[in-house]
């Protein structure tokens, strides 16, 4: 059965509309809607059934708030709503059923958020702001192949092995050679060299994020990051040595989340001590470039880090890179090194002090300043290995179709607190399971 034709294009659709069952909820909603610059008359009396009837003959809004309180089977009734909504509509559900399984099922189906009655202005304000941010994100065209965001952590087994050099070079290559929107996050808060390698001032962006994690959103990212070129933005710091790092890591996790929405590639220059202090940072990292050298100390630490990654980040593809290779003066030869770490070296990059000095003098990344050197060619090969990992993930990942697939939206769980009662229910449910 063909869906009824509905007038209106993406450009002339209303920004917002709501269908709520009771006046008390509407009285809380209308002032927030006015505050956001939308039309209060778009707050309609009536729940899901009224929404379906109305939207069957008119274009659906960009953001739709719908009350499920009078629905006997919310999940099943959502199908009817999906049939009358335009692709890209962001849906916020309202209800009075405090059931964590219903909440999870609605979120999994593609609903952006589920708010529990009685409503509060702050609760509505946060949810609408997040929905607006989701709608403002670039939408993929129908039939377009979804691009897999690749987050790459570059970790050195020892100080001085050249992890930062490779991190900045990879970010530069992704942004210039491949024209991919790329974020470079330098997590060496006190001594990072990301800005130096790109001939930039580090700014206060990362420091501000650590001090005020609640401020991190798309607008913060746009203002705080330093633009290195059209496709590369850097977030780093140069904190005073007498200022210890005071954070629980929440800011770093939120930054990674925002990067996934704003960029196609993320490169994280991650000091190895971060693995100890903030192991959660690798939860959403797809690729780990482990940089080592042919020394006894590096062999020991490569074994330890590989073991840690296997236990704590088994989802990530690990690329082991031997850097600054000088076969004639190495403490351990390649065969013995591989035997000791019980895995193969994926890539070897030769030692080239002249090229490194040349890059420093030019204020450029190693890869940019030394395109034709053997080391520069090897780094380009590393770039291809990382991007190939993204292809592997796309091949192995199986995307589940949601009930609200027609909405074509990215379901993003709120970074702020959901309804406290729901979270309590979730904790109880998990404990019971």
d(CA 282, CA 285): 5
Residue 349 burial class via C-beta count within 10 angstroms: exposed 0-12, middle 13-18, buried 19 and up: buried
Nearest to 307 by CA among 199, 130, 157: 157
Enumerate domains of the chain plus CATH numbers.
16-142+401-432 (3.40.50.2300), 150-396 (3.40.50.300)
Whole-structure pTM value: 0.59
Output the pLDDT for position 130: 85
Beta bridge partners of 93: 66, 114
- What local confidence, expressed as pLDDT, does residue 425 receive? 43
Which of 82, 60, 66, 78 minimizes the C-alpha distance to 15? 60
Q: In this structure, what is the dihedral angle of CA atoms 153, 157, 162, 163, given to the nearest 10 degrees?
A: 10
CB count within 10 Å of CB 420 equals: 9
182-186 and 317-325 beta bridge pairing: unpaired
pLDDT digits (tens, 9 = 90+) for 395-412: 554 443 344 444 543 333
How would you write the pLDDT of the chain (433 residues) with one tens digit per residue? 333 333 334 445 788 999 999 999 999 999 999 998 898 999 999 888 888 888 888 888 889 999 998 888 887 777 778 778 877 788 899 988 887 777 777 777 778 888 989 999 999 998 898 888 876 665 444 434 445 799 999 999 999 999 999 999 999 999 999 999 999 999 999 999 898 888 888 888 888 888 888 888 888 888 889 999 989 999 998 888 888 888 888 889 889 988 988 899 999 999 999 988 888 889 889 999 999 999 999 999 999 999 999 999 999 999 999 999 998 888 999 999 999 999 999 999 999 899 899 888 888 889 888 888 999 999 999 999 999 876 665 555 444 334 444 454 333 333 334 444 444 444 444 444 4
Which two tokens mark 368?
A: 């940019």
| Angle, alpha carbons 109-113-116 (nearest 5°) | 115
Residues making up the chain, counted from first to last: 433
Long-range contacts of 108-115 (CB under 8 A, 24+ apart): 108/402, 108/411, 109/75, 109/78, 109/402, 109/403, 109/404, 110/402, 110/403, 110/404, 110/405, 110/407, 110/409, 110/411, 111/78, 111/404, 111/411, 112/409, 112/411, 112/412, 113/414, 113/418, 114/422, 115/419
């Amino acid at each position: 059965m063909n869906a009824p034709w509905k007038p209106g294009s993406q450009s002339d659709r209303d920004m917002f509309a709501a269908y709520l069952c009771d006046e008390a909820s509407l009285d809380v909603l209308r002032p927030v809607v006015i505050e956001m610059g939308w039309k209060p008359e778009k707050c309609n009396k009536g729940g899901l059934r009224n929404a379906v009837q109305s939207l069957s003959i008119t274009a659906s809004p960009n953001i739709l708030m719908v009350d499920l309180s009078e629905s006997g089977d919310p999940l099943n009734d959502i199908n009817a709503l999906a049939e009358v909504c335009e692709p890209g509509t962001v849906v916020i559900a309202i209800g009075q059923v405090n059931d964590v399984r219903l909440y999870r099922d609605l979120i999994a189906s593609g609903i952006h958020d589920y708010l529990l009655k009685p409503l509060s202005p702050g609760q509505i304000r946060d949810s609408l702001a997040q929905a607006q941010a989701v709608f403002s994100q670039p939408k993929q065209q129908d039939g377009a192949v979804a691009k897999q965001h690749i987050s790459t952590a570059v970790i050195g087994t020892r100080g001085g092995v050249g992890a930062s050099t490779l991190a900045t070079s990879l970010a530069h290559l992704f942004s210039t050679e491949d024209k991919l929107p790329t974020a470079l996050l330098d997590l060496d808060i006190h001594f990072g060299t990301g800005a130096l390698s790109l001939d930039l001032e580090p700014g206060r962006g990362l420091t501000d994020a650590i001090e005020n994690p609640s401020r991190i959103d798309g607008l913060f990212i746009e203002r705080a990051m330093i633009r290195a070129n059209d496709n590369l933005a850097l977030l780093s710091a140069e904190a005073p040595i007498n200022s210890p790092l005071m954070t629980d890591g929440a800011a770093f996790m939120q930054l990674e989340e925002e990067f996934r929405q704003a960029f196609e590639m993320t490169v994280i220059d991650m000091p190895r001590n971060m693995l100890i202090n903030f192991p959660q940072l690798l939860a959403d990292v797809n690729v780990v470039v482990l940089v080592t050298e042919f020394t006894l100390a590096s062999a020991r630490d490569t074994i330890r880090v590989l073991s840690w990654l296997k236990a704590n980040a088994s989802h990530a593809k690990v690329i082991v890179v031997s850097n600054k290779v000088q076969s004639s003066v190495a403490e351990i030869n390649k065969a013995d090194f591989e035997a000791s770490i019980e895995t193969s070296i994926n890539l070897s990059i030769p030692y080239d002090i002249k090229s490194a000095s040349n890059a420093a003098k030019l204020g450029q990344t190693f890869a940019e300043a030394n395109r034709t050197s053997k080391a520069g060619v090897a780094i380009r090969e590393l770039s291809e290995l990382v991007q190939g990992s993204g292809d592997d993930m796309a091949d192995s990942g199986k995307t589940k179709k949601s009930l609200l697939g027609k909405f074509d939206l990215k379901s993003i769980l709120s970074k702020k607190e959901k309804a406290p009662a729901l979270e309590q229910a979730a904790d109880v449910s998990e404990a019971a399971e």
